[in-house]
Amino acid sequence: MMFETWWLLALPFVFGLGWMAARFDLRQLLSEQGALPRSYFKGLNFLLNEQPDKAIDAFIEVARLDPETTELHFALGALFRRRGETERAIRVHQNLATRPDLPEPEREHALYELGQDFLRAGLLDRAEESLRRLMSGPYAASAKRVLLELYEVEKEWQKAIEAARELQTLEQKDYRVQIAQFCCELAQDALQRKRPEDAVEWLRKATQENPANVRAPILLGDVAMAAGDARGALSHWLGIEQQDASFLPLVADRVVKAYATLGEQGQALAWLRELLKGNLAAELLDTAYRTELEVNGPVAAATLMREQLRRQPTLLALTKYFEAQAERASATAPEGQSPEASQETSQETAAIRDLLQARTRNLARYTCRECGFRARLFYWQCPGCNRWETYAPRRTEALG
């Protein structure tokens, strides 16, 4: 009983302590609110009323009066950049970066954000200037990554190689795939400038950097072909089968052209017919059909497509079969058939061909493994996410 009485006597004391603590917190809150500049509340009011320009002016005033509000500006600047309002983002971050009383870590943060703003706005020189001031310190790695992106946009491939090597050392991350592709870009530029020796040197460096790079032997074949060495070009292109056979469809037309230069179209057809028996048939069907049609005519092309339909029935093979039949019907009338009946057959075959062509024209697409961007053409660098070697050399949608 005495224990319960003691607690009853202590309750008023406990309540008294709670009341005093609440009063102290309330006074502290009111004191902190009173310390906030009026511009802070004006800025919030402008934001709520969808007046971002006036809100920025108000918050800049807050930053001038109270350095502790810089985080608010970083958040606003990032928000404006994400919304595509790069001029406002630049304005916010420039005011932060030029403040003489801003601590150095926050100044570096502002310069980094400003570099990204300029990059997004397309002001590449100013972006590089801002980011170049951050080559050491906590933002060095982040600045170099943005610089690498900038150099890719500008197609400054040698600078991109240097930036990638620096990042490779700084982050202990593998950039060999990207560096090899930058070398290939330089090789392609050299080829366009009619400097094959420089192109070969860059391709040698690409292979050294990444032996799995398939683009290098493709371009080496182009160099040999441009020099009139069709046999040498074939050795590069056909060697891709040992490296990664799935890339053969990318060089199929080149291989056919090289064999034609050597007068060995039969070799090209034999190579294509053998590949049609494997899992590359869908990718090589169009090249095989066109080559057979050109070398042996529509009857042989139709026979090849009929064989392919028996082996691997697909909508694309059916389309090519009717293309060959339409070519055959328009060239000669079947024996024993009247001209009127022949014309009617030709029109029906052409109608079926047109219907199938319309159905298959947009079926196949190359798809980026990273972002899902789909394209009719093959790209070494995805136009959607700018990643390298994210396109598989085979189209992902079924053709039948």
In contact, 158 and 168? CB cutoff 8 Å: no
Radius of gyration of the chain (CA): 34
Instruction: For residue 368, say whether it is annotated as part of any ligand binding site.
Output: yes
Three-class DSSP category at 394? coil
Q: What is the DSSP letter of 11?
A: H
Of 258, 188, 265, the C-alpha closest to 219 is 188
Distance (Å, whole) CA 369 – CA 388: 11
In the three-class reduction of DSSP (H, G, I as helix; E, B as strand; rest coil), residue 244 is classed as helix
DSSP secondary structure of 157-211: HHHHHHHHHHHHHHH----HHHHHHHHHHHHHHHHHTT-HHHHHHHHHHHHHH-T
What's the rounded Cα separation, in Å, for the pair 312 and 14?
A: 86
Distance CA 354, CA 302 (A): 16
Q: Is 184 annotated as a binding residue?
A: no
The DSSP bridge partners found for residue 391 are: 368
Residue 293 identity (one-letter amino acid) = L
Q: Does 183 appear as a known binding residue?
A: no
**Exposure class string for 131-164: b at 16+ Cβ within 10 A, else e:** bebbeeeebbebbbbbbbbbbbeeebbebbbbbb
C-alpha dihedral over 44, 47, 49, 54, to 10 degrees?
Answer: 100
- CA nearest neighbour of 293 among 303, 308, 306: 303
Please classify residue 51 by burial: count the beta carbons closer than 10 Å to its beta carbon, then call 0-12 exposed, 13-18 middle and 19+ buried.
Answer: middle
| CA–CA distance, 291 with 279 (Å, rounded to integer) | 19
Binding residues, as ranges, are: 368, 371, 382, 385
Binding-site annotation: residue ranges for Fe cation: 368, 371, 382, 385
